[in-house]
Chain A
Amino acid sequence: MFSLNKQAFINATVVSIITIALVFYGSRELQNFDPALIAYLFGTVFAFFGVVYRYSVWLQRPPTRMYYKRTWELIWNRQFFSHLWFFIKEFVQNIGFQKFIYPRGRSRWIGHFLMAAGCTLAFAITFPLTFGWIHFTLNPESGLDPGTVKLYEAHFFGFKMMEFEVGSFMAFMIFHALNWSSWMVIIGVLIFMRRRLTQPGLISTQSFEGDLLPLVLLLAISVTGLGLTYSYQFMKGFAYDFMAVTHAITVIMFLIWIPFGKFFHIIQRPAQLGAHIYKREGMRRGMAVCLHTGKEFATQMHIDDLKDVTKELGFDFTLEDGTSHLDLSPEGKRSRLAMAHLKARQENGGKLFG
């Protein structure tokens, strides 16, 4: 049964209020806010609320809390800058380029990279647009003079950031940026749909709402988004209203669903960088040696933390001699199990039994 998590609720409410305040002031007291996007704004604020709520609940689980605690310790660590540099490098490689997916398959990497890059680009454009932080105006001087090339100005938080010629290549790229992201997402989604509809291993373990619906939703968002441009450019506005409404519905569904479904991994998965830094710091402090194999197998910090976490979760692997079963490497554990089996056989006469 659902019970409200107070701390998570407070965190989510604070972030939502800050977001709304930033929308108010970032759009210069709503002067630059586009009321046509109000539904998207509600969806985005809800998504922020939900993401922060779930993340806060997530951080309270014993294993996650341990990593969270260690993260703060690292911030006050002498190695902070070394870890920060490592984090930046890893962020570019693993979040930017998703290096870790490439060994799993080239088409898988291409598909995921296109989806991730397309979504990131779309987020980077639509969130500030929805919040009224970005808006475009016609340069008044060039606009009044029929003899000059018209200039467009891009404003961020009400400050002029850049200007470009209307009809220029730059304008074409900027005004169609969401179309480029749509194409990236569509290609990525099709690659992943093919995998999910043809690979027996995936078919046997996937679920419609967990794995296929997110792809369908991304496809619907991208196709209707593209349709908006292509409707007025090539189809004389045919089905524009339908596309606009469907696009809004699918995008808002997507936003509202981020905290609950598969899309939450966009928020959660970067924690892998933290896991890498944890391992790096642990290696610096010293490795644990398996009591059975006599070989290093993990960082001592990891094993010690895991002993605490397992106890907190109700598991007690403490052995009679005061050591822990967790002091064994995976190979050591398998061997100890087999030796225990042999011992049981010996105690039963020592013969093979059938």
Chain B
Amino acid sequence: MPVTNYSTNQEFFVDMQRCIGCKACEMACAECETNGHESMIHVNYVDRAVTIQTTVQVCMHCDDPACANVCPADAISKDEFGVVHTANTSRCIGCSNCVMACPFGVPKKNEAYDLMMKCNMCYDRTSAGKKPMCATVCPTQALFYGTRAEMAMMRPNSTPVNNFIFGNENVSTKVNIMMPKGSTVLRVD
């Protein structure tokens, strides 16, 4: 990677309860240069039959990414800042292993391109010291990119959590999800 101005004291915080489903993030995501102008963010209804609640999902940038581990082509890499990059276009064989193995359901397979694509935290922007597109436009700050101190001041009753349990698997991530104060882990089963 070239020389960057990646800010290591800024982090990504996702607060699902604040998502209003406006999809501004989807539009903004499509402005990201590293995605080739394809929107990578996911906004979906949690359970449309019973609630209008939407949720937003960016790549969580796992410490030990399952997507990269199951990739038969070594197409997914994690850099020194912990950003898990989207598939290397020359290597990806479009097998969808990463799409099916990601515990957060993040990578997308673009069938026409025969290529997996995913959020890489707007690396064109974050590597230049800027915030990811989605976090700059989210009107409710369901998506926030800043320092832990800023977050602690804004949300005194929340705790950023980056540990998740999926059955027998513990997954720790670079991106945080805001949880009730005092939480240490989010169990999904």
Residues of A within 8 A of B (CB): 58, 61, 63-64, 66-67, 94, 100-101, 103-104, 199-201, 203-208, 262, 265, 268-269, 271-272, 274-276, 278-279, 298, 302-303, 306, 309-310, 313, 315-320, 324-326, 328-342, 344-345, 348-349, 352-354
Asked whether, in the complex, the Cβ of B105 is within 8 Å of the Cβ of A328, the reply is: yes
Choice from A279, A329, A354 contacting B105 with Cβ under 8 Å: A329
Pair A309/B97 contact, Cβ less than 8 Å: yes
* Nearest residue, chain A, Cβ from B17: A352
Per the bound structure, the CA–CA distance linking A63 and B96 in Å amounts to 11
Q: Is the CB of A94 within 8 A of B114?
A: yes
**A–B Cβ pairs within 8 angstroms, 10 of them:** A201-B35, A204-B2, A205-B120, A272-B95, A302-B96, A315-B169, A326-B101, A330-B100, A337-B188, A341-B179
Is B69 close to A, CB under 8 A? yes
- Chain B residues proximal to chain A, CB less than 8 Å: 1-2, 4, 16-17, 32-36, 42, 44-47, 53, 55, 57, 66, 69-74, 85, 89-91, 93-97, 99-108, 112-115, 120, 123-124, 127-128, 155-158, 164, 166-169, 177-181, 183, 186-189
A93 to chain B minimum Cβ distance, whole angstroms, is 11
Choice from B101, B128, B180, B188 contacting A310 with Cβ under 8 Å:
B101
Partner of B187, one of A262, A268, A340: A340
Query: Closest CB-CB distance, A46 to chain B, in whole Å?
Result: 22
- Write out the residue numbers on chain A whose beta carbons fall within 8 Å of the beta carbon of B1: 205, 207
**Taking the nearest CB of chain B, how far is it from the CB of A65, in angstroms?**
9
Chain B: which residue is nearest A263 at the CB level?
Answer: B90
A349 partner residues in chain B, CB cutoff 8 A: 180
Task: Tell me whether B105 and A63 are in contact (CB under 8 A).
Answer: no
Kindly list chain A residues whose C-beta atoms are within 8 Å of the C-beta of B158: 353-354
By the criterion CB–CB under 8 Å, are A338 and B46 in contact?
yes
Contacts of B105 in A (CB 8 A): 328-334, 337
When distances are taken between beta carbons in the complex, the residues of chain A under 8 Å from B186 are: 337, 340-341, 344
Instruction: Give chain A nearest CB distance to B41 CB in angstroms.
Output: 11
**B57/A334 in contact, CB under 8 A:** yes
Beyond known contacts A262-B90, A272-B95, A313-B66: 19 more, CB 8 A cutoff: A64-B73, A103-B113, A104-B113, A204-B123, A207-B2, A271-B73, A271-B93, A275-B95, A298-B100, A303-B100, A309-B70, A325-B169, A325-B189, A330-B108, A334-B57, A335-B47, A335-B55, A344-B187, A348-B180
Q: Which chain B residues border A333 with CB–CB below 8 Å?
A: 102-105
CA of A134 to CA of B89, assembled, Å: 36
Asked whether B72 lies within 8 Å of A64 as measured between CB atoms, the reply is yes
Partner of B94, one of A63, A66, A275: A275
